[in-house]
Structure formats: structure tokens, C-alpha cells
């Protein structure tokens, strides 16, 4: 299932937003939830290891972003890259 990276927030980002209180983000690791959701959507295209690697790269690429925005930004970037990969294959 390929989704639009600009689509409405998923359960992952909604769950993360619910964990935000004021200016401080609770120390809840949503990384595993994101990887699990992406693997569910792209398991016929990529292995779990490849998805973990891609999500890690997205986290590194967005390192300077505001912490509260990171989960949604990582998810959108990862879905965009996964969508491109699924459509065009390796090396895209």
C-alpha cells in the first residue's frame, strides 16, 4: 500500500502529538511504532532491515529540526522516500 506523503496524520503522528505537553516532549520512543507502521505498508517491497536503515537516514537528515516536529517530519520523509523506491526500484 503506497500512501501520499502529504496525507493526513497517521496513528503514529496522532499518538506522538498526544504525548506532547506544553513545550516539553515526553521521553517516549515512537521510533519503533513508525518502523512497524512502515513495515506493514511496505513489507512486500522492502525488508525490515532496509526500512530501519531508511528511517535512521531520515532521522539524521532532519537532525536540525525542532524536536516536537521530528516524528511527523521523519514519517513524511520516510514515506516519500519509500514511495519513490516502491515506484522506481533500487537506486532511485
Over residues 29-58, the mean pLDDT reads 89
pLDDT digits (tens, 9 = 90+) for 60-90: 999 899 988 888 899 999 999 999 988 887 6
Average pLDDT, the chain: 75
Contact predicate 35/51, CB 8 Å: yes
CA distances from 48 to 3, 7, 14, 33 (A): 18, 23, 23, 13
Residue of higher predicted confidence among 56 and 19: 56
pLDDT digits (tens, 9 = 90+) for 18-28: 444 443 343 33
Predicted local confidence at residue 80, as pLDDT: 95
pTM of this structure: 0.66
Amino acid at each position: 500500500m503506497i500512501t501520499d506523503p502529504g496525507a493526513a496524520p497517521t496513528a503514529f503522528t496522532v499518538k506522538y502529538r498526544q504525548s506532547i505537553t506544553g513545550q516539553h516532549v515526553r521521553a517516549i520512543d515512537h521510533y519503533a511504532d513508525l518502523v512497524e507502521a512502515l513495515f506493514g505498508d511496505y513489507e512486500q517491497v522492502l525488508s525490515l532491515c532496509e526500512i530501519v536503515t531508511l528511517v535512521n537516514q531520515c532521522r539524521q537528515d532532519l537532525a536540525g529540526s525542532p524536536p516536537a516536529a521530528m516524528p511527523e517530519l521523519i514519517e513524511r520523509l520516510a514515506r516519500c522516500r519509500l514511495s519513490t523506491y516502491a515506484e522506481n526500484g533500487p537506486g532511485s
